[in-house]
Structure 1
Amino acid sequence: MLSDGSWRIIRVGLVGLLLAAAVAGLVLGDTWLWVAVEWSPPAYAEFYARDGFDTPTTVVLLMAALVKAALLWLILRAPVRGPLDRREKALRRLLYLAVAYAIVLWYPVALLPDAVDAAFQLALWTAIDVLYLLVIRWRSRVLRAAAGTMFAVELAGMANELLDELDLPELGSGDIVGPVLMLAGMATIVITVVGQRRDGRWSRGTQVAGWLSVGVYALAILFNVLFVRIPSGSLVTLVVMDAVGLVSTVWIAATAREMPVEGRPADLPPVRRVIRVAVAAVAVLPIIALIHPEQTPHLTYTGRSMNCYAPPSFGDLKPAERDAMFLCRARNTDGGVPPMFPDSLSDQGVLAYGRALCRTEDRDEQKAILTRAGSERPAWGVDPWDLVYVCPEIIGATHPELLRSAEEMRAAETAYITEQNAKCRDPWPRTKGVAQATAKYFLFVDGDPGYMVHDPDDEAADRAAEQAMGKSYEDSVLTGVANSAVLVGHVADIVNLCLTVKALRTAPPPRTAGWDQVNEVPIVSRSGRLTVPEMGEGGEVGAGAPMPNLAIAGKGRYRLRVYVRVDDAGEEQHLVVVFPGASKKRLKLKP
């Protein structure tokens, strides 16, 4: 065992390093501050706060550094010297292993499969709980039996987590086992602190740390059961809970530190009070064990107040409304499709499965979870735009666009369209049209045949468009012509193309050099308009800028000439020239 002087050096060095690192973090940046205070890798900081810390978060991190430094000072106190038997030595070592895991070992263990972590925790606390029963002088058979029962329930919950990680049949529903595990964890601390008081070797400070640990568990239950989850948008809450959680580590370290029996045991507390605690615990425990999943779903969140068919953007929702929106989407049967989850599953169950789906890495894992939930369509999986409502911090890391508000989405869309339009250039800059425009024309990703040049005010516009599309397929030509509509196809496998339209008073020279295809066809304007469809509000297809009226001579017959080429980069460019002309001939000017 290290000398008291060595412990003091380690204690002063580590606590001083923590405080110095926190101060250095203010100078070196948010990432260093996060590592200094949270004791986790820099990547975690980027995950929780991609845009950096705001002022309240920075202040809370500095306060957490002071709190954790004080708690670490208590954790690193030198062990009390004294004789220990074989069981007491084993318990002390295991408790210090639990302390080391809570502070530093959790990260390397987290790099291993989750099942390894669950198995390690189960093995560690099984050994500790057994040694607790053997080492602590309970001085009451009833109290020892109550402790054994509490420990068994806690270990059963941990075993259930291991079964879940191994994809084996679980002991019960996660919605029930989770709260039971937290309640059992709180109950084991209560019964252990009572045993420490009855034993007499542990100081009042150690017992106070134990009772404070009960408070930490109560906070965890408050956030994870009553509020279903810790608010995802509050990094401050995460930092505070992490700092407060170190209280439990202080208690475990103090329990290991004061293991030797020194002098005479302190006076025992009144027996009646201890017996009442034990009896109450034993009475409550069967009630907890008898809790089963509800036969009828308990619908705390309904989503009925929200429009499921035209949902608002994620950024326009308040945090309290996000769960309801996920439930709305999870139970959606629009179009006759089965819902994501069965109606028999409670809202709490749907939300719990939704958060489990957030942690999956592929469709196979999603299928396994949906199958376990009883979904009628497990093979479909779940899309990020559905899951973003229950775990924005996870989905937002890979799909930040899903976190935007409607205004932000419109701004981003406008900026994108403007950027794309700027990439297109007029291929005939010296030939000025009476009316002209150059823009990016956006097509559907799959199956879009091309774009229309048409008379939108023609009474038979829809029929003409259908006929033009049909002729383009029937004749296998670039352009399909039907009176007041011409469908212009694309030659490359593209998503969008650069389009320039010009209206001239007379027919221009052919100028076919540099173009791959040049075709000229007739078109009619019955209303005095000819134009190209524009991308409307919220639309995905059409020209990215306003398109002019190309029927500059009013109602009548026109000629439409289409120039097409694909450059070396695979970008397709179109030039559409419209001018008055009575001819009904189709001309193939090139090739």
Structure 2
Amino acid sequence: MAVEWAPPAYAGFAGREGFDTPTVVALLVAAPVKAAFLWLILRAPARGPLDRREKALRGVLYLAVADSLVLWYPIALLPDAVDTAFQLALWAAIDVLFLLVIRWRSGMLRAAAGAMFAVELVVMTDDLLDDLDLPELGAGGIVAPILMLGGVAGILITVIGQWRDGRWSRGTLTAGWLSVGVHALVLPLDILLDTTPGDGLAVSVLMEAVTLVSTVWIAATAREMPKEDRLADLPPARQRAIRVAVAAVAVLPVIAQIHPEQAAHLTHTGWSMDCYDRPSFGDLKPEERDAAFLCLARSRDGGVPPIFPDSLSDQGVLSYARALCRAKDRDEQTAILTRAGSARPAWGADPWDLVYVCPEIIGATHPELLRSTAEKKAAGDAYLAERNASCRDPWPRTKGVVQATATYFLFADGDAGYLVHDPGDPAAGEAAERATDKVYDDSAGIGVARSAVLIGHVEDVIDLCLTVKALRTAPPRRTAGWDQVNEVPIVSRSGRLTVPEMGDGEVGAGAPMPNLAIAGKGRYRLRVYVRVGEAGEEHLVVVFPGASRKRVELKRWTAR
């Protein structure tokens, strides 16, 4: 009794400063409940003749009772595989003896019981293989649900078999039905434990008390083994009381999960694990869109306050969001968010957030927000192809060993320029920083730092046409038609020289750039041609082997 009345094993760590009121109440309620259960468990076995199989079944059932009450503690000190193997052997014996001892009075019922027992044992075997680090049977993440459902179905069919057998009393059958209910409610009770404010000790205490009913059923099954006839039915009043108790155990925990409309029902919060990614609207099913918005509305990513407070229910958030969709201007959005209790009402709400709750309104003015990931990629690829096609090779008759022409995209709010660098240089980052610093001190707008050259743009632009060519020898100067031509040294330490490509961000070349270090590691010369015309700003970068370390100005920029 001292063991069974104890709070959960971790309570000593969670409640060092004393238990809260719900936990104290739960302990006081659980104590008499567990005492009553233990009184039933410890009742002496009924006398009467038993055959060899019945004696064996009574023995393994009492062993299961002992394991539930006491043996679990010393076994828990052993490796997990020992506990799993013991449970597998114990319940394999119990299941086989149930099939042999119970008078099922139906071959179909016995076969169904055997199938459920087999499923349970297969899952336990898979668990043992996992504990032994051996190849599993492939059940994966469905092990727990199968074990739970198989256990519920196995108990249910066993209780039906006991009822058809006729040896077990109504009290034992009632304990069996309650055991079925308890197993079926494991998942809802776990959800209640996760959603209960505080440390959840009160729910854990009650769960441990309620699960003892399975031990009561096992002990009663073993105790009444010799009885040839079912005991006399209980008085009608007690029968009604038992039915009410069974119904309460089955229904009340489920009802407790149903929140009234005015309560804050929180499906997703800013801390939910599945709220870190922003899915594309077109990738979501209609029933998934509200959940996606709830994630965004309560997100605290980057330390930014959420759009709506956690105290507002899901229904309230969605209602205010639809009002935001119909708002005529930012001032009306601010008033709506103020009424909702937002921590940042003046910020309003963005179309790319609201599209999840009112696509018919947002999509009318921002159709691009309705695209799926694949559609976004296709649109982005088409845009890049169109922009790249607008750029032309300024030296079409001079073919490089390798070459490429593309649009180079810069930061919209200003960017120093683009790099020609050796990405394999161990000091690539440091070289790029030095080149960036030097570009502002150079009259030609070219910063040189050994393996990195940063080439600045001469106009205030957000993109430019860039052609790169690698030649084996120095080409003719050909400065006609260009506004500025400069030649600088660059070093390749790893045998690579290239221009950064646009990745997932917004900066870089819009097409793959080749390796311009065609002679491998060593020194190269880099000639930069720049001009500004009707097509915008154009750059031609020519790279060829050369040992000179001098900077040469072939044509100076003349302001227009």
- What TM-score, normalized to structure 1? 0.49
Deviations 1:389-413 (A, max 9, x none): 0111111111111111111111111
Q: Counterparts of 1:460-479 in structure 2 under 5 Å?
A: 460-475=427-442, 477-479=444-446
The 3-state SS of whatever aligns with 2:440 is: helix
The 3-state SS of whatever aligns with 2:387 is: helix
The 3-state SS of whatever aligns with 1:502 is: strand
Q: What amino acid is aligned across from residue 540 of structure 1 in structure 2?
A: E
> Which residue pairs with 2:483 in the alignment?
516
Q: Counterparts of 1:97-116 in structure 2 under 5 Å?
A: none
> Which residue pairs with 2:279 in the alignment?
312
The 3-state SS of whatever aligns with 2:388 is: helix
Segments of structure 1 that go 5 or more residues without pairing to the other structure are: 1-291
- Alpha-carbon distance in structure 2 between the residues aligned to 1:333 and 1:424: 43
Q: Counterparts of 1:271-282 in structure 2 under 5 Å?
A: none
- Alpha-carbon distance in structure 2 between the residues aligned to 1:300 and 1:534: 41
* Superposed displacement of residue 566, structure 1: 1.2
Q: Counterparts of 1:449-528 in structure 2 under 5 Å?
A: 449-475=416-442, 477-528=444-495
- Alpha-carbon distance in structure 1 between the residues aligned to 2:486 and 2:339: 59
Choose the corresponding residue for 2:537, options 572, 584, 588: 572
Choose the corresponding residue for 1:553, options 511, 519, 522: 519
- Alpha-carbon distance in structure 2 between the residues aligned to 1:542 and 1:300: 40
Kindly indicate whether residue 374 of structure 2 is the aligned counterpart of residue 407 of structure 1: yes
Choose the corresponding residue for 2:345, options 375, 378, 392: 378
Kept in 2, the 8 Å contact 1:303–1:325? The answer is no
Q: Counterparts of 1:41-440 in structure 2 under 5 Å?
A: 294=262, 296-300=263-267, 307-440=274-407
- Alpha-carbon distance in structure 2 between the residues aligned to 1:299 and 1:310: 19
Kept in 1, the 8 Å contact 2:268–2:295? The answer is no
* Superposed displacement of residue 581, structure 1: 1.0
> Which residue pairs with 2:408 in the alignment?
441
* Superposed displacement of residue 444, structure 1: 1.7
Kept in 2, the 8 Å contact 1:303–1:324? The answer is no
Kept in 2, the 8 Å contact 1:442–1:495? The answer is yes
Kept in 1, the 8 Å contact 2:270–2:298? The answer is no
The 3-state SS of whatever aligns with 1:307 is: helix
Q: What amino acid is aligned across from residue 439 of structure 1 in structure 2?
A: A
Report the CA distance shift for 1:342/1:301 in structure 2 as closer, same or farther (over 3 A).
closer
- Alpha-carbon distance in structure 2 between the residues aligned to 1:372 and 1:325: 23
- Alpha-carbon distance in structure 1 between the residues aligned to 2:338 and 2:446: 50
The 3-state SS of whatever aligns with 2:356 is: coil
Q: What amino acid is aligned across from residue 435 of structure 2 in structure 1?
A: A
The 3-state SS of whatever aligns with 1:339 is: coil
The 3-state SS of whatever aligns with 1:376 is: coil
- Alpha-carbon distance in structure 1 between the residues aligned to 2:261 and 2:282: 34
Report the CA distance shift for 1:408/1:305 in structure 2 as closer, same or farther (over 3 A).
farther
Give the number of equivalent residue pairs. 297
Q: What amino acid is aligned across from residue 497 of structure 2 in structure 1?
A: L
- Alpha-carbon distance in structure 2 between the residues aligned to 1:392 and 1:322: 10
* Superposed displacement of residue 371, structure 1: 1.4
Kept in 2, the 8 Å contact 1:458–1:484? The answer is yes
> Which residue pairs with 2:529 in the alignment?
563
* Superposed displacement of residue 352, structure 1: 0.9
Choose the corresponding residue for 1:585, options 536, 544, 550: 550
Kept in 1, the 8 Å contact 2:414–2:462? The answer is no
Kept in 2, the 8 Å contact 1:500–1:576? The answer is yes
The 3-state SS of whatever aligns with 1:585 is: coil
- Alpha-carbon distance in structure 2 between the residues aligned to 1:376 and 1:471: 44
The 3-state SS of whatever aligns with 2:275 is: coil
* Superposed displacement of residue 535, structure 1: 1.6
- Alpha-carbon distance in structure 1 between the residues aligned to 2:467 and 2:298: 46
Kindly indicate whether residue 501 of structure 2 is the aligned counterpart of residue 534 of structure 1: yes
| Runs of 4+ residues deviating >4 angstroms | 300-306
Q: What amino acid is aligned across from residue 559 of structure 1 in structure 2?
A: R
Deviations 1:225-261 (A, max 9, x none): xxxxxxxxxxxxxxxxxxxxxxxxxxxxxxxxxxxxx
* Superposed displacement of residue 475, structure 1: 3.6
Kept in 1, the 8 Å contact 2:495–2:520? The answer is yes
Deviations 1:261-291 (A, max 9, x none): xxxxxxxxxxxxxxxxxxxxxxxxxxxxxxx
Kept in 1, the 8 Å contact 2:486–2:552? The answer is yes
* Superposed displacement of residue 305, structure 1: 7.0
Larger Rg: 2
Identity %: 78
Segments of structure 2 that go 5 or more residues without pairing to the other structure are: 1-259
* Superposed displacement of residue 447, structure 1: 2.3
- Alpha-carbon distance in structure 2 between the residues aligned to 1:400 and 1:328: 22
Report the CA distance shift for 1:371/1:293 in structure 2 as closer, same or farther (over 3 A).
farther
* Superposed displacement of residue 476, structure 1: 5.5
* Superposed displacement of residue 300, structure 1: 5.0
Deviations 1:117-164 (A, max 9, x none): xxxxxxxxxxxxxxxxxxxxxxxxxxxxxxxxxxxxxxxxxxxxxxxx
> Which residue pairs with 1:544 in the alignment?
510
> Which residue pairs with 2:141 in the alignment?
none
- Alpha-carbon distance in structure 2 between the residues aligned to 1:362 and 1:517: 49
Q: What amino acid is aligned across from residue 426 of structure 1 in structure 2?
A: D
Q: What amino acid is aligned across from residue 275 of structure 2 in structure 1?
A: C
Kept in 2, the 8 Å contact 1:521–1:559? The answer is yes
- Alpha-carbon distance in structure 1 between the residues aligned to 2:538 and 2:274: 42
Q: What amino acid is aligned across from residue 524 of structure 2 in structure 1?
A: Y
- Alpha-carbon distance in structure 2 between the residues aligned to 1:374 and 1:431: 66
> Which residue pairs with 1:184 in the alignment?
none
- What TM-score, normalized to structure 2? 0.51
Kept in 2, the 8 Å contact 1:301–1:323? The answer is no
Q: What amino acid is aligned across from residue 415 of structure 2 in structure 1?
A: D
* Superposed displacement of residue 484, structure 1: 0.4
- Alpha-carbon distance in structure 1 between the residues aligned to 2:284 and 2:388: 32
- Alpha-carbon distance in structure 2 between the residues aligned to 1:559 and 1:415: 35
* Superposed displacement of residue 555, structure 1: 0.6
* Superposed displacement of residue 477, structure 1: 4.1
Report the CA distance shift for 1:346/1:472 in structure 2 as closer, same or farther (over 3 A).
same
- Alpha-carbon distance in structure 2 between the residues aligned to 1:508 and 1:362: 60
The 3-state SS of whatever aligns with 2:264 is: coil
Q: What amino acid is aligned across from residue 414 of structure 2 in structure 1?
A: G
- Alpha-carbon distance in structure 1 between the residues aligned to 2:443 and 2:274: 45
